[in-house]
Structure 1
Amino acid sequence: MASGKGKGQASLALHKVIMVGSGGVGKSALTLQFMYDEFVEDYEPTKADSYRKKVVLDGEEVQIDILDTAGQEDYAAIRDNYFRSGEGFLLVFSITEHESFTATAEFREQILRVKEEDLVPLLVVGNKSDLEERRQVSLEEASSRAQEWGVPYVETSAKTRANVDKVFFDLMREVRKKKMSESKDKNGPSGKKKKKRCCIL
């Protein structure tokens, strides 16, 4: 199917998404569900896996590059490098594990520190919504934290596929919006006059 499209692929917009969160919250399960429509229950702890997929985002064919990072602390140093390369982040916790929710604040701090900016495309994702009876993090608590950070909050289930596509597509829209506003700032008058800089190419 993809034959003869090799050349065209290079020109597709590429959105780099990073999965962030504590170990065992279902980052890999969400990634694999989105990539291959399958639920993988027993998954070896991830060091870091990268996936790429072509999708149609609001009528435009784009590529999404997903980096699924390890939640384990041993990889904290490597994590900085990953964060630098990411354009958007899915900050995942498990609604059945309050500790993983608490950890999101630290992950967010780390992302903002590495990216050195306050507005980074980011979605807070409460995974394992199919395990309602084991819920430890209320919808209100998670929503109010996301609100405080000025980012969306979505609950997903990698098992039932609930909202899985939504979080990836919503994040890509955020990334695209940021890229567009950045290129506008670079290229055009945005109301405010910028000093003209000479650029010798």
Structure 2
Amino acid sequence: MAQETYQIVLVGGGSVGKTCLAVRYLNGKFLPDYDPTIEQTFKKLVLIDNIPTNLHIIDTAGQDDYKDVRNKYIASGEGFVVVYSIIARSSFDEAKTLLLQIKKEHKSDVPVITVANKIDFEKERVVTVAEGEQLAKKFATSYFEVSAKTGQNTENCFESLVRSLRKKKQEITQQIQQPINNKNESSSGCCIIL
């Protein structure tokens, strides 16, 4: 069985836990110390639904100083994880902006998931579950509440995105093959020379 490769871009405000989310998913570890990311790519072969899958997870900077770098990846990404922190209203507002930017950049339906991180801080929550679900619905994305610290729901969100990427790839393949099949069917007739 051939390996699949997907480029997934993590976007979100600073300090929302994008790096911690990627490290938790790929390595099963939590990074307790915050070190702002400019750009980092994680690569790993994982098995999802018994299919070997190469993931290239690009962790973008959340700080405005690196907006141009992030914009480059928004333009070229195959799938997106838009992350906000449930304890920071400003990160939720930034997630809205990023979702809008992704939808404007990619005219077709690009696979995107909206991720509410830091659910281990439930007592400090300022963004409700209903608000997160409403945001995801508005932009037609899947919605996940996760904790990079505990690992809760981290696998589910990435695996869901990979399944969406596979589905999108199959749809594109079928669209490409459809005209080829139609051409072969129409050219199977006979030719009469007078």
TM-score calculated relative to the size of structure 2: 0.89
Matched with 2:90 is 99
5+ residue gaps, structure 1, are 1-7, 195-201
SS of 1:131's equivalent?
Answer: helix
Q: Is 1:32 aligned to residue 23 of structure 2? A: yes
How many angstroms does 1:114 deviate by?
A: 2.8
Q: Say which of 104, 124, 127 aligns to 1:137.
A: 127
The total of aligned residue pairs comes to 182
Q: Is 1:62 aligned to residue 53 of structure 2? A: yes
Q: Say which of 12, 15, 32 aligns to 2:6.
A: 15
Deviating 4+ runs (over 6 angstroms) = none
How many angstroms does 1:41 deviate by?
A: 1.4
| Equivalent-residue separation in structure 2 for 1:178 and 1:12 (angstroms) | 16
Q: Is 1:50 aligned to residue 57 of structure 2? A: no
CA deviations over 1:143-187 (Å, ceiling 9, x no partner): 111112211111000011001111111001111111110111011
Matched with 1:111 is 102
How many angstroms does 1:21 deviate by?
A: 0.3
Question: Would the aligned equivalents of 2:15 and 2:34 in 1 still touch at CA under 8 Å?
Answer: no
Matched with 1:3 is none
How many angstroms does 1:112 deviate by?
A: 2.4
5+ residue gaps, structure 2, are 184-194
| Equivalent-residue separation in structure 2 for 1:57 and 1:79 (angstroms) | 27
Q: Percent of counterpart pairs with the same letter?
A: 35
Matched with 1:152 is 142
SS of 1:75's equivalent?
Answer: helix
| Equivalent-residue separation in structure 2 for 1:148 and 1:109 (angstroms) | 10
Q: Superposition RMSD on alpha carbons, in Å?
A: 1.8
TM-score calculated relative to the size of structure 1: 0.86
Report the structure number with the largest CA radius of gyration.
2
Amino acid at match of 2:159: F
Report which of the two has the higher share of helix.
Answer: 2
SS of 2:120's equivalent?
Answer: coil
SS of 1:30's equivalent?
Answer: helix
